[in-house]
Structure 1
Amino acid sequence: MRDIFFSKEKMKYYELLSRQFPTIQDVSREIINLEAITNLPKGTEHFLSDVHGEHEAFVHILKNGSGVVRRKVEEIFGETLSEDEKSKFASLIYYPKETLFHMKQSKDKVEEAWYHQTLKQLVSVCREASSKYTRSKVRKALPKGFEYILEELLHEQEYVENKQAYYDSILSTIIEVGQVEPFIIAISELIQRFAIDHLHIIGDIYDRGPGAHIILDTLMKYHSIDMQWGNHDIVWMGAYAGSLPCIANVLRVSMRYGNHELLEENYGINLLPLAKFAMQTYKYVEPSFMPKVISELNQKDALLIGQMHKAISIIMFKLEGQFITRHPEYNIQNRLLLNFIDYEKDTITLDGEIYKLDWFGSPTIDPKYPYELSNEEMEIILKLKTSFMTNEKLKSHIDFMMAKGSIYLNYNNNLLFHGCIPTDEDGKFSRVTLDGGTYSGKALLDHYEKMLRSSYARRFEAVDDYDIDIFYYLWMGQYSSLFGKSVMKTFERYFIKDPITHKEYKNPYYKHYFSADYCDKVFEEFRMNKKVSRIVNGHVPVRVGKGESPVKADGKLIVIDGGLSKAYQPVTNIAGYTLIYNSHGLLLATHEPFDSAKEAIDHNVDLISEISIIHKADHRVLVGETDIGKKLKEDINNLKTLLGMYQKGIL
């Protein structure tokens, strides 16, 4: 071996590494271990987007691994169990606590033989689900209290001679000492854990559905996750950071979908001052302000939510006008709509056309100073600001999103982002001036994230909204990569019946992303290999009923917003997508509507998913070919260098 020469800094690194691996045997063992890991099949990644508070469907997808768990049950027991038995067994894996409770409440006594057989079946599924992981990784995932037992069961073959009695005795003892139900729960959750190795959430956890807080509580406990922020996430992040227009918008959307309980009961936001003000100020409200879930509310509650909805919307339009005035560089002065109203005739002039307003007006708008909040409105929004910024539960959720999230992510040759790369009509990346600099493409998204993180870090030092306005811009700005449209027509949808005024024009990105050449241009911009890379998008629902496909640009781009949110399902005709990337290739799971966890438990109803192959790898993809594998290979090379230094006597 040639002499090895290193700089002082490099020598210091290897001296530190030698403390972790102080002998030739230690280094050699670690090299062997890491080399073995790089030759395992890659873990299964799942991609979900636009969850929009639909917690029951979302949690069920995690529990059944987008159908992966049921397929394993089918592969193992396809010939030995009936369809009904397989459905009941799958339901047990998804909801072990609830299913066991349901069984005990029934008239039929649960026999010891059933426990024994079920334990064997669960071990078989768990063994199959864990088969592509190292023993070390499996060991780290084992639930506390059952580590030794599970490790023995997973690595002992019960049908091998001289082992069957040992294997059966373990199962019998579990039942005998009264630990069978905790064990069933533990192994079922372990199967769920092995079905998904890493989870990507490509934006929009919040709004529309009622359970965003449940989704975030679930994700905070998840073993491996990243997320790319969506526009609905950003506005909640801005609300917690203290942005007044973001706070008003969060309340507006929550009222629109009747999600006041999310704010009041789950986050503890005090809505009483707004409710009192709304009842006194808005005796009547336009139909457009009545909550979309009105069938689930009594008439009195629905009216109150409608009143609160209008009250906070007027406050939001005023705050939005202040935001626009603070930022002439955003060039959105044409959205100062309260300036264009003839308050005597109840009309508005847009683009030279006069439209009749379908409204009862607002007594809080001063035509001379339309964007000034009344004293009561100011008091309400400032109380709400305090309530948002001092909310510990919301803080934990937003801190988690900041820690695990980003505007975009390049992961294993997949470029993940929620909305778009702002693009001009000619296909060139839009040049946007911010903070005295001009940015486009990757640099623009990087600068957005830098601004967001800086504003979030300084949220308690912000003198006024100017310091945190980036959150609201990314909610509705023309060149926001998360919004992806030229304008947001909220006012028009509320107050003008003519649908021509409601049209929101998508960024040209959504015209160009059908082109493989354009996608290659994006890959070059993000310094990715265009021969193997893909874009994974959310944000824009795929209208399957109108013949749209989630796969575009010859397979280089995949849109996975399939309508997990019930509000979108009439448009998409399905109930969401999951993209699955395993060692064999890319699969797309198309989900049918899911009623509830209760329905799944009571009647063994699963979320039905149709699986289609998007790309089949020409060989089984190994860990060594992934981003983690590249890092492992760097570690192996450094360890081999350390080994050489030991052998040469340098260390």
Structure 2
Amino acid sequence: MNAKNYYELLYKEFQSKEDVYTELINLEAILNLPKGTEHYISDLHGEADAFAHTLKNGAGNIREKIFLLFEDRLPADYLEQLALFIYYPEESLKRETEISKDWYTTRLSELIELTKFCANKYSRSKLRKALPQSFSYLLEELIYRTEAEENKAQYDEAIVNKLIQLGQIDQLLIALCQTIQRLVVDHLHVVGDIFDRGPAADQVMDLLIAHHSVDIQWGNHDIIWLGAYAGSAVCLMNLLRIAARYNYLYEIEDTYSLNLRPLFTYGENHYHENPAFTPANRQNKAYDFEDLQTLEKVHQALTTLQFKLEGQLIKRRPDFHLDNRRLLEQVNFSENQVQIDGHWYPLTNTCFQTIDPNNPYALTPEEEWVVKTLLASFQSSEKMQKHMEFLAKKGSMYLLYNGQLLFHGCIPLTMSGEFQPVNIQGVAYQGKALLDEMDRLLRKGLQRPQIHDDFATDFYWYAWCGRYSPLFGKEKMTTFERYFIQKKETHQETKNPYYKLRNNKETCQLILEAFGLTHDNAHIINGHTPVKAEAGESPIKAGGKLFVIDGGLSKAYQKTTGIAGYTLLYNSIGFQIVTHQPFTSVNDVLTRQKEDLGVKHVVDKIEGKTLIRDTTIGRRLLRQIEDLEQLLAYLETDPLKKSI
């Protein structure tokens, strides 16, 4: 498009030069506002209730603002209850036993004042977008009113009277609480691993889709789901196996309307009871003995199918260098033992009855049909399509945002601290180029989901467990050993040197510079590896240049971590680490009338305030200003101006 056509199209958005001047002034004003608060969280692992609670309290931001605003006027216990009301207004209203007109008037006044306080860094147009449409005009009037103090009480009382008469007062208070929840966090970063371990990843996805501003850096568990959607049968068997192991396979079947009947029939017909495959015990889940027995059998079936399909893929892709994972070939089935690295180990709890020792990776005709049916059901699920398309659209291997580098796992390094070259289709990639090429390949796999064994689709498996995959970051994945070998030394998964070297400031600087980040306020933000807080490990590495924010939101990790996760906040004055305590239920929180909020620590304070001008969004606005200024110059020299 030539310049004239571009500016003519741009001018169609404005009715006059005055409109252009107004927009320029507006954009310049926005550039000088403080940057909004960013919230970083990772490793959600299907824990929807705990995630929703963190969103509702803004990682402690709402309570902090309440105390900043009202601490000198209202008692602490009252402020704690006000915070809980804002998190859970509907539930709180049901619990209130004495609600009067005065109570409504007071609560409305408090919420309006807090809304104004939370919105003081936003333009009026941005606040308007945050307000619920059903009450937007009324709320704007309340927020921006200029009545004298003596008229304020009468004004509030008149509004409350009318809202009570119309039966809308509760809905207005709920809408205000939701607006406050939205205002305290301007943008959400999910640094990987939405899926697996926990039972409600679908609810997490629904929350993310409904969120006003979010991005995702893919984690290894997210890649498995994307891989299955792209057509990888081994990825699908793996995610279903994990679901069976952690006892939420029925939830996946129901939520995504999957046809798992062929799988259950196959498991019942070919496998027997095996206590080693009993699903994990889940709290608040009623157990049916027959269901558990069925899941034991299905768990075994999925495990065997995964190892068969993995072996086929490894043979098909020798350049993945996963030959040490072709363990079914190393099994002596008559002696029930396996050879690994030259050593023989006895096998226990095996489920190899459908394996042909002479051709261990071959699927039986029934297995081929089961796999084909499962894959078709997974790919055709309407809700699955919605979730995977959102995950692909909002996700990436890494993100550069407001001068920070976000990625889930690692940047593969050598022992000496150099970038590890990784050969992909005959070309060596390292550092940033490696992540860029992986991002390209993974997206290519999604473009042709009907093709199930092309390189791009197979590459999802390498991304899951390849030795130099940035999402995995270990020498090998010892799933086979953990199921069938009791010797703990075979379970070890040696981490990439990155996880040791990331403690060095020089290593972090090397990585940041490779991604074009050379300023002092640049940081690396990771997930993936739970921080063992109970053992004294800190989420802050390399003298503050790197943050690890996987502290154990997943219940599966909380015995190891001792907490329920870290989140990171980045506002106009710096970074704060928030340590969260385990979330049990909304009822427990409201019954205690006080939330066990995590501890906030300022970890990197910035000199002065960061303005929107200094952010990623600010750079976009500056480009818009440049375009508008060029448009004005064009109108001064082009005949088009005569028609204005």
TM range (shorter): over 0.9
Cα 1:113–1:162 change in 2 (3 A) is closer
Q: Distance in 1 between matches of 2:582 and 2:485?
A: 33
Q: Secondary structure at the match of 1:518?
A: helix
In structure 2, the partner of 1:547 is 536
Mapped partners of 1:474, 1:273: distance in 2: 29
Whole-Å separation in 2 of the counterparts to 1:163 and 1:93: 23
Secondary structure of 2:2's counterpart equals helix
Task: Give the C-alpha shift of residue 574 in structure 1.
Answer: 1.0
* Matching residue within 303, 307, 321 for 2:293: 303
Shift of 1:533: 0.9
| 1:482 alignment counterpart | 471
1:579 aligns with: 568
Which of 502, 508, 530 is equivalent to 2:497? 508
Gaps of 5+ in 2: none
Partner of residue 415, structure 1: 405
- The alpha carbon displacement at 1:22 in A equals 4.8
Shift of 1:138: 0.6
User: 2 CA distance for matches of 1:649 and 1:160?
Assistant: 54
Report if the CA contact (8 A) 2:67-2:79 is conserved: yes
Q: C-alpha deviations, 1:12-56, integer Å up to 9, x for none?
A: 333333333353322221111111000101011000000000111
Worse-matched range after superposition: 433-442 or 500-509: 433-442
Q: Which of 429, 435, 443 is 2:425 aligned to?
A: 435
Secondary structure in 1 aligned to 2:99?
Answer: coil
| Preserved contact between residue 244 and residue 465 of structure 1 (Cα < 8 Å) | no
Q: Is structure 2 residue 77 aligned with structure 1 residue 89? A: no
More displaced, 570-579 or 357-366?
357-366
Aligned AA (2:281): V
What residue number does 1:215 align with? 204
Give the aligned partner of residue 394 of structure 2: 404
Q: Structure 2 vs 1, CA of residues 475 and 184 (structure 1 numbering), >3 Å: closer, same or farther? A: same
What is the CA distance between 1:379 and its match in structure 2? 1.7
| TM-score, normalised with respect to structure 1 | 0.95
State the match for 1:316 in structure 2.
306
Q: How many pairs align?
A: 638
Note if 1:351 corresponds to 2:341: yes
- 1:272 has 2:265 as partner: no
Judge conservation of contact 1:158–1:164 (CA < 8 Å) in 2.
no
SS in structure 1 of the partner of residue 133 of structure 2? coil
State the SS of the aligned residue for 1:199: strand
User: 1:284·1:360 contact (CA, 8 Å) conserved in 2?
Assistant: no
Look up the match of 2:190.
201
State the partner residue of 1:363: 353
Query: 2:438 matched to which residue of 1?
Result: 448
| CA–CA distance in structure 1, aligned partners of residues 133 and 519 of structure 2 | 44
1:90 CA drift (Å) = 1.6
SS across alignment from 1:548: coil
Structure 2 Cα separation of the partners of residues 559 and 165 of structure 1: 51
Which of 601, 610, 617 is the matching residue for 2:606?
Answer: 617
Q: Distance in 2 between matches of 1:233 and 1:532?
A: 29
The answer to whether structure 1 residue 44 and structure 2 residue 33 are counterparts is: no
Moved more, 517-526 or 637-646: 637-646
Provide the rounded CA distance (Å) in 2 between the counterparts of 1:192 and 1:531: 31
The answer for the alignment partner of 2:241 in structure 1 is 252
Deviation at 1:85, TM superposition (A): 2.5
CA distance in 1, matches of 2:466, 2:77: 52
SS in 2 for 1:140: helix
- Measured after TM superposition, the shift of residue 303 of structure 1 is 2.5
Shift of 1:294: 5.9
Contact 2:105 2:156 in 1 (8 A): no
Displacement of 1:170: 2.5
Match of 1:192 in 2: 181
Q: State the SS of the aligned residue for 1:469.
A: helix
Post-superposition offset of 1:443: 0.9
Map of 1:336 onto structure 2: 326
Q: Per the alignment, do residues 294 and 181 of structure 1 end up closer, same or farther by CA in structure 2, a change over 3 Å counting?
A: closer
How big is the shift at 1:176? 2.9
Contact 1:542/1:572, CA 8 A, preserved across alignment: yes
Asked whether 1:560 is paired with 2:540, we answer: no
CA distance in 1, matches of 2:164, 2:525: 47
Aligned pairs (5 A) from 1:7-406: 9-103=2-96, 108-156=97-145, 160-287=149-276, 289-293=277-281, 296=285, 297-406=287-396
Is contact 1:156–1:167 with CA below 8 Å preserved after alignment?
no
Q: How far has the Cα of 1:299 moved from its partner?
A: 3.6
> Kindly, what percent of the aligned residue pairs are identical?
43
Please report how far the alpha carbon of residue 602 of structure 1 lies from its aligned counterpart in structure 2 after TM superposition: 4.0
* Counterpart residue number, 1:531: 520
For 2:298, the aligned partner's letter is M
Question: 1:538 & 1:262 partners in 2: Cα distance?
Answer: 26
- Give the whole-Å Cα distance in 1 for the aligned partners of 2:548 and 2:452: 40
Give 1:606's aligned residue.
Answer: 595
Tell me the C-alpha RMSD between the 2 structures: 1.8
Distance apart, 1:271 and its partner CA: 2.3
Do the aligned partners of 2:39 and 2:188 also contact (CA within 8 Å) in 1? yes
Which moved further from structure 2: 617-626 or 635-644? 635-644
SS in 2 for 1:433: strand
Could you tell me how far apart the structure 1 residues matched to 2:592 and 2:533 are?
Answer: 29
Does residue 626 (structure 1) correspond to residue 626 (structure 2)? The answer is no
Q: TM-score, normalised by structure 2?
A: 0.96
What does the per-residue CA deviation read over 1:392-444, in whole Å, with 9 as the maximum and x for residues that have no partner? 10110000001100000000011000011111112111111212322111111
Cα shift readout 1:598-637 (whole Å, capped 9, x = no counterpart): 3223443425110000111110111111111122122223
| Residues 47-79 of structure 1: CA deviation (Å, up to 9, x unaligned) | 000000011110000000001111122222324
Query: C-alpha separation between the residues in 2 aligned to 1:148 and 1:435?
Result: 59
Report SS of the residue matched to 2:12: helix
Residue type at the aligned position of 1:320: E
Letter in 1 for 2:87: Y
In structure 2, the CA distance between the partners of 1:280 and 1:644, relative to structure 1 (3 Å rule), is closer
State the Cα distance separating 1:375 from its structure 2 match.
2.2
| Cα offsets for 1:337-367 (capped at 9, x unmatched) | 0011111111111111111111244210111
